[in-house]
Amino acid sequence: MSDIILNTPLDKKQLQSLKIGDKVMLSGIIYTARDAAHKRLVALLEKGEELPFALSGSVIYYAGPSPTPPGKVIGSVGPTTSGRMDDYTPVLQEAGLAATIGKGKRNQAVIDSCVANKAVYFAALGGAAALMAQCVKEAEVIAWPELGAEAVRRLRVENMPLIVINDTTGDDLYVKAIKVV
């Protein structure tokens, strides 16, 4: 199983070749956002105001890092449970968000939105947060620092290991995994 190399901004044509279970190495710029940031992002979108980052071809990582120790780029930074962001995801994908990274199940609305908008959902390794931190080469808070761990951060990542959970055809690795006996 050879790894698929992806670079940001993501090309939706390339995303269409991805299938569930594929292992991807992602490099480039991604943005962290959790519950509180999503609420604000969608509110800005609804008001027609500018977002802290351009959505087209972008990647959101559902993560809130631990504090950055002295001399490090970032603290531990594994994925949080994606399902809490389900209500916000389709509208962001319609506005250009190309991929989301987290862990755990998405609802049918997100899976349908991935098909309609040619977007994908990746899993990072839940709980392997010190390992995930090694892929982060630069980190900067770009919006809402008052949210602390939940602020929006711009991360430059190199070879971030990801697994395709929901592809652009509506398939779901989590559903397929439990059917294989």
Partner 1 sequence: MSREINAEDITTAIADLAVSSNRTLPNDVAVALAAARNNENLPLAQATIDDLIKNQHIAAEQQLPLCQDTGLAVVFLEIGQEVQISGGDLTTAVNKGVAQGYIDGYLRKSIVSPLKRENTNDNTPAVIHTTIVPGDKLKITFVPKGGGAENMSRLAMLKPSAGIEGVKKFIIETVREAGPNPCPPVVVGVGIGGNFEYAPLLAKQALLRQIGSKANDPDIAVLEAELLTAINKLNIGAQGFGGKSTALAVHIATAPCHFATLPVAVNINCHVARHQSVIL
Residue among 5, 16, 23, 142 that touches partner 1 (CB under 8 A): 23
- Residue 119 · residue 93 · CB < 8 Å: yes
Nearest alpha carbon to residue 82 among 3, 173, 180? 173
Q: Which sign, positive or negative, has the C-alpha torsion 97, 170, 89, 158?
A: negative
9 vs 161 by CB, closer to partner 1: 161
CA–CA separation, 86 vs 140, rounded Å? 25
Positions in 43-62 near partner 1 (CB under 8 A):
none
Residue among 80, 100, 113, 168 that touches partner 1 (CB under 8 A): 80
DSSP codes of every residue in 88-149: THHHHHHTT--EEEEBS---HHHHHHHHHHT-EEEE--TT-HHHHHTTEEEEEEEE-GGGGG
Q: Does 171 bind partner 1 (CB under 8 A)?
A: no
Which listed range, 40-48, 52-60, 65-73, 89-97, lies at the site for partner 1 (CB under 8 A)? 65-73
Positions in 134-163 near partner 1 (CB under 8 A):
134, 148-149, 161, 163
Q: Does 69 bind partner 1 (CB under 8 A)?
A: yes
Where on the chain is the footprint of partner 1 (CB under 8 A)? Answer: 1, 21, 23, 36, 63-69, 72, 75-78, 80-81, 83, 103-105, 123, 125-131, 133-134, 148-149, 161, 163, 173-174, 176-181
